[in-house]
């Protein structure tokens, strides 16, 4: 079972949680100055250690991104397993992935190592704990670049210190509709958090999916960062629910109608763009949270949210050379069969 096939805490509004630790090995130059031979050595050593079964009980598999086609790499980006930079850069690099896809270790991204943990719903503590376990395991085998004064040393100063980036993906349609999303962005910005649309750009995010993450890695420890993010997410979720309730009090029929129409279109359309599917899945998700659509599960919506993205559709269909219309048809077929 994949991590997203589970319904997590606050799973209606909180899609997923991610914790990422940036680490570098002290025995090698930083990635920008790394020779191809060194790159290869890091990739080889770290991935072997993990796939030969570190000691955390997970089964890991290496995907060597220097020999991976663009569609497969793109699909990993869409599932948030690797960064877009990781897919497009050159050189010896790879990602080690646990069976349930919750733990991924990118090797030779911007830093030597990026340990990432994904979880369903709102689960910052669990993700941090899991990331720390992997971190400790690697720390036992390799030597990290670390300084007493600066903490973990990273290529970009913005990651110095904890090297921790924690982010929570939220579904915020009522913030979007009411226009409060801009206020949220600016007020959380002042508190040291970044809010950005996951699909599309800025305030016009497709499907109203947003990610809230910490901006700073220096000057506070991991737990403090996580605790502050937890507070901010909780209050955002509460306010989103208030806004939804307020709208529903006045427009119950319109709200139900929107959710059911989205369901009808997903169930019967013969062509679906990724933008439309993403948006309709959001409408259905809101209806599920409101109790309108009882037969649709949040894990199904989570899975589809990745699966409707362009590269995923190609991978799932097994046809990497589809044009855009063929993809829209294959996507509609896949969605239809899921409902």
Q: List interacting residues with its own copies (CB under 8 A).
A: 253-254, 256-257, 260-261, 263-271, 325, 328-329, 332
- When the beta carbons of 160 and 293 are compared against its own copies, the nearer one is 293
- When the beta carbons of 39 and 292 are compared against its own copies, the nearer one is 292
- When the beta carbons of 112 and 331 are compared against its own copies, the nearer one is 331
Minimum Å gap between C-beta 269 and its own copies is 5
The Cα 182–Cα 192 span in angstroms is 15
Minimum Å gap between C-beta 291 and its own copies is 14
The Cα 328–Cα 81 span in angstroms is 24
Minimum Å gap between C-beta 279 and its own copies is 14
Determine the distance from the C-alpha atom of residue 11 to the mean position of all C-alpha atoms in its chain, rounded to a whole number: 14
Minimum Å gap between C-beta 274 and its own copies is 15
- Which candidate, 287, 318, 160, 229, places its Cα nearest to that of 17? 229
Residue 252's contacts (CB-CB under 8 Å, 6 or more residues apart) are: none
- When the beta carbons of 185 and 266 are compared against its own copies, the nearer one is 266
β-pairing verdict for 113-120 and 146-147: unpaired
Concatenated DSSP letters for 13-64? TEEEEEEEEEE-BTTS--GGG--HHHHHHHHHHHHHHHHTT-SSS--EEEEE
The Cα 23–Cα 146 span in angstroms is 9
Minimum Å gap between C-beta 335 and its own copies is 11
- When the beta carbons of 27 and 333 are compared against its own copies, the nearer one is 333
- When the beta carbons of 81 and 266 are compared against its own copies, the nearer one is 266
- When the beta carbons of 34 and 332 are compared against its own copies, the nearer one is 332
The Cα 12–Cα 239 span in angstroms is 14
Minimum Å gap between C-beta 289 and its own copies is 17
- When the beta carbons of 147 and 253 are compared against its own copies, the nearer one is 253
The Cα 120–Cα 101 span in angstroms is 11
The Cα angle at residue 278 between residues 106 and 71, in degrees rounded to 5: 40
Minimum Å gap between C-beta 338 and its own copies is 14
- Per DSSP, 270 falls in state S
The Cα 210–Cα 92 span in angstroms is 32
- When the beta carbons of 250 and 321 are compared against its own copies, the nearer one is 250
Q: List beta partners, residue 25.
A: 144
The Cα 259–Cα 291 span in angstroms is 10
Tokens of 50: 């993990």
Minimum Å gap between C-beta 254 and its own copies is 7
Minimum Å gap between C-beta 278 and its own copies is 17
Residue 260's contacts (CB-CB under 8 Å, 6 or more residues apart) are: 287, 292, 293
């Amino acid at each position: 079972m994949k991590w997203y096939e589970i319904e997590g805490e606050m799973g209606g509004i909180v899609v997923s949680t991610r914790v990422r630790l940036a680490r570098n090995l002290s025995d090698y130059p930083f990635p920008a100055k790394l020779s191809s031979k060194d790159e290869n050595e890091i990739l080889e050593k770290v991935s072997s250690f993990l796939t030969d079964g570190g000691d955390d009980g997970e089964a890991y598999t290496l995907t060597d991104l220097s020999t991976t086609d663009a569609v497969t790499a793109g699909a990993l980006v869409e599932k948030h397993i690797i960064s877009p930079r990781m897919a497009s850069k050159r050189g010896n690099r790879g990602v080690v992935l646990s069976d349930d896809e919750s733990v991924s270790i990118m090797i030779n991204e911007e830093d030597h190592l990026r340990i990432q943990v994904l979880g369903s719903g709102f689960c910052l503590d669990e993700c941090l704990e899991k990331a720390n376990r992997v971190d400790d395991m690697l720390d036992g085998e390799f030597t990290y670049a670390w300084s007493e004064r600066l903490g973990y040393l990273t290529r970009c100063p913005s990651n110095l210190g904890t090297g921790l980036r924690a982010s929570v993906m939220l579904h915020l349609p009522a913030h979007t509709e009411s226009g409060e999303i801009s206020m949220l962005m600016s007020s959380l910005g002042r508190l040291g958090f970044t809010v950005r649309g996951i699909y599309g750009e800025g305030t016009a995010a497709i499907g109203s999916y947003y990610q809230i993450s910490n901006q700073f890695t220096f000057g506070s420890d991991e737990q403090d960062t996580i605790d502050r993010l937890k507070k901010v997410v909780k209050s955002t979720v509460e306010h989103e629910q208030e806004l939804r309730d307020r709208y529903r009090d006045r427009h119950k029929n319109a709200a139900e109608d929107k959710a059911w129409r989205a369901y009808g279109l997903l169930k019967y359309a013969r062509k679906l763009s990724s933008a439309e599917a993403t948006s309709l899945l959001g409408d259905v998700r809101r209806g599920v949270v409101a109790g309108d659509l009882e037969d649709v599960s949040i894990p199904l919506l989570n899975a589809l949210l990745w699966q409707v993205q362009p590269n995923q559709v190609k991978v799932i269909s097994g046809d990497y050379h589809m044009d855009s219309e063929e993809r829209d048809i294959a996507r509609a077929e896949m969605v239809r069969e899921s409902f």
